[in-house]
Amino acid sequence: MGDCSWELSDYEILAEIGQGAYGKVYKAREVRDRQRLVAVKRLNISEDPETGIPQFMIREVALLRKLEHYNHPNIVKLLNVSAEWQNQIFDLTLVFEYIDQDLSTFLSRASEKGLARDTIKDVMRQLFSGLDFVHTNTVIHRDLKPDNVLVSSRGEIKIADFGLARIYTNHIALTPCVVTLWYRAPEVLLHSSYMSSVDIWSAGCIFAELFLLRVIGVPGEKDWPIESAVCYSPSWAEKKPTTQLLPNLSHEENDLLSQCLAFNPAHRISACSALAHPFLTCP
């Protein structure tokens, strides 16, 4: 049987659009009613009596079920779930609304002149709105990056892929092997405790990426986490201000970006406060 020859009773598989360690994602169409396009994420793993069903599979479904009740416009919609055992293989199928591009693709198609500031403002307002909703429901996404931020043809921003997401309490010690490296907060890199502010750092990286690049320099010793296995070195202290690679940022843009990328997570802005920041509220 070929990779795309299988068919759920309600969906016609059209093409494979993604692949991961445990399965694939397909573009599909409903065969009844609206015949809308959907994304079918099919995960499978061999049964292991010692470990059972991987926790990330259970966690992703549980968190999506928790979030879907509120039908937030900036969270990708989960439409259907099915799970079954076939020949000692656990098969989990998640059906989502179909969005034809992610933020990486969106950026690759942008003009050489870059994105308009109004577009950047709209993207970040929707991204922070989604994060505020997620964090209000005590969830950390833990893998926020352009590949996991979807952009619809109508400009709607939707956070997707909750495979690494977790329910959190204050400053719990969690695995450091989360968040794609380029978007990973310093406290995660330093194996320190962390909370929802890790998502804000990732959002700040995305914000900077919308403008191209930015260097934020080395932190001071007072901001270095005490529990880190990596000791702070005074030799890291900067001798002069970091060169700004984005000299054309307005005061409001620079202020919000700096608050997202504060090295100390306690000084990092929250998604709720970001939504009230002048950059996102002023016309």
Give the Cα separation of 277 and 125 in Å (integer).
10
Asked if 143 is an active-site residue, the reply is yes
Please say whether the beta carbons of 127 and 141 come within 8 A. no
Single out the catalytic residue among 143, 161, 199, 223.
Answer: 143
Radius of gyration of the CA atoms of the chain, in A: 21
Closest CA to 75 of 21, 144, 24: 144
Q: Distance from first CA to last CA of the chain, Å, rounded? A: 55
Binding-site annotation, residues for ATP? 41
Give the Cα separation of 263 and 224 in Å (integer).
8
Give the Cα separation of 166 and 275 in Å (integer).
23
Binding-site annotation, residues? 41
Contacts of 58 (CB under 8 A, 6+ apart): none
Give the Cα separation of 150 and 162 in Å (integer).
13
**Three-state secondary-structure class, residue 117:** helix
Residues marked active site are found at 143
